[in-house]
């Protein structure tokens, strides 16, 4: 059994993959289409994305299952196919990664809020457990709960993943810089509150994804390291905040810009570096080159 934790213990920094969503759209996914359905209808496209990150030098790739919680799939009347779609997502990434790279099963938010009474804790838990188990059966090495903003939902997702799979679980939140240079999620959660809650729920690796670019990720890692010196930290950074111009959405941070800051984020104590929205295989290649120097 491969273990992210034992790889990290060897003292190496690892490289993760880049964007999936924005990449799928580039390959023709239309707004309003279910990205996870592409695991069946456009298998080659999804495989090509996964493979491009392996070829770029990533040590691990994620899966095309971010919106694979049954409550999210229900928007497309696909909740009955939760197991099939998640399993297919895992199998595609497994095939692209081969046996010597890691595959992390992606699980994003369910899209419903516990505090609004839209859903029960049990329903949320069961959905994540079904998703995680399907990802495991499709061949993932670990689960990555990502883009979380609420402590309650993230804790439930981590617990469900642990209980259903027994695999290593990564959990990352999305933080924004608020007034006074403090970072919080849209639900008001600080990095400290995140770490406390999700480690308690059983997360092995913590961190941040999405957000407003690499510079802010360095500050978030510094924040986490100010209270936690031991838990491995994973970062999936956006290529900056998108700019809308002439009918096109452009991400401002180039591969070179990201590569130039790798040393700083490693010095601050990050263990796994990859990209989120707007990052490409070129970004990952530049990051990998820097990390493996």
Partner 1 sequence: MDELIQKISVCVERGKINKTSPFPGDMKGQDGADELTKQALDASIGPDEILLACNDGMHKIGERFGRNEVFVPELLMAAKAMNAVMAHLKPFFKAGVVKPKGKFILGTVAGDLHDIGKNLVSMVVEGNGWQVIDLGVDVKSIKFIEKIKENPDSIVGLSALLTTTMANMAKTIQEIKSEFPSIKIIVGGAPLSMKAAEEMGADGYASNPQGAVEFLNQMSLCA
269 touches partner 1 (CB under 8 A): no
Secondary structure of residue 288 in the 3-state scheme: helix
At 226, give phi and psi (nearest 5°). -70, -20
From residue 152 to residue 181, the character string flagging contacts with partner 1 as x (rule: CB under 8 A) and all else as - is --------------------------xx--
27 touches partner 1 (CB under 8 A): no
Minimum distance from residue 249 beta carbon to partner 1 (Å): 5
Residues of this chain, 48-87, that bind partner 1 according to CB under 8 A: 75
Tell me which of 10, 11, 30, 230 binds partner 1, using CB under 8 A.
30
1 touches partner 1 (CB under 8 A): no
230 touches partner 1 (CB under 8 A): no
In angstroms, the CA 65 to CA 87 distance is 9
Strand partners, 105: 143
Helices (H) then strands (E): counts for the chain: 13, 12
Tell me which of 104, 233, 277, 286 binds partner 1, using CB under 8 A.
277
Which of these ranges, 18-26, 58-66, 138-146, 221-229, lies near partner 1 under the rule CB under 8 A? 18-26
73 close to 35: Cβ distance less than 8 angstroms: no
Minimum distance from residue 184 beta carbon to partner 1 (Å): 7
Q: Would you tell me how many other CB atoms lie within 10 Å of the CB of residue 29?
A: 19
Which residue, 150 or 284, is less far from partner 1 as judged by CB? 150
Number of residues that bind partner 1 (CB under 8 A): 30
241 touches partner 1 (CB under 8 A): yes
118 close to 72: Cβ distance less than 8 angstroms: no
Which of these ranges, 36-44, 57-65, 83-91, 245-253, lies near partner 1 under the rule CB under 8 A? 245-253
Which residue, 242 or 269, is less far from partner 1 as judged by CB? 242
Secondary structure of residue 269 in the 3-state scheme: coil
Rg of the chain over Cα atoms, rounded to whole angstroms, equals 17
The CA dihedral of 247, 253, 255, 256, to the nearest 10 degrees, is: 130
In angstroms, the CA 4 to CA 41 distance is 31
In angstroms, the CA 104 to CA 45 distance is 19
Name the residues that contact partner 1, by CB under 8 A: 21-22, 25, 30-32, 75, 111, 113, 115-116, 149, 178-179, 184-188, 241-249, 277-278
């Amino acid at each position: 059994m491969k273990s992210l934790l034992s790889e990290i213990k060897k003292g190496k920094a690892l490289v993760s993959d880049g964007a999936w969503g924005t990449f799928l759209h580039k390959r023709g996914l239309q707004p309003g289409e279910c990205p996870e359905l592409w695991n069946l209808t456009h298998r080659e496209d999804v495989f090509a994305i996964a493979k491009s990150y392996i070829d770029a030098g990533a040590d691990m790739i994620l899966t095309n299952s971010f919106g694979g919680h049954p409550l999210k799939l229900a928007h497309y009347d696909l909740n009955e196919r939760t197991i099939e779609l998640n399993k297919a997502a895992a199998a595609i990434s497994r095939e692209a990664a081969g046996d010597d790279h890691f595959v992390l099963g992606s699980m994003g938010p369910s899209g419903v809020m516990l505090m609004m009474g839209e859903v029960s804790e049990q329903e949320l838990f069961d959905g994540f457990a079904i998703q995680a188990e399907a990802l495991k059966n499709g061949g993932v090495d670990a689960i990555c709960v990502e883009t979380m903003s609420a402590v309650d939902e993230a804790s439930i997702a981590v617990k469900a993943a642990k209980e259903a799979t027994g695999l290593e679980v990564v959990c990352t939140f999305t933080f924004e810089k608020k007034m006074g240079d403090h970072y919080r999620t849209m639900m008001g959660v600080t990095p400290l509150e995140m770490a406390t809650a999700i480690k308690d729920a059983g997360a092995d690796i913590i961190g941040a994804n999405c957000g407003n670019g690499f510079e802010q990720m360095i500050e978030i890692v510094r924040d986490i390291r100010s209270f936690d010196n031991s838990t491995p930290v994973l970062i999936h950074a956006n290529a900056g905040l998108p700019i809308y111009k002439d009918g096109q959405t452009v991400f401002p941070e180039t591969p070179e810009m990201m590569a130039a800051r790798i040393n700083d984020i490693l010095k601050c104590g990050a263990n796994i570096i990859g990209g989120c929205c707007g990052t490409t295989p070129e970004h990952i290649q530049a990051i990998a080159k820097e990390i493996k120097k």
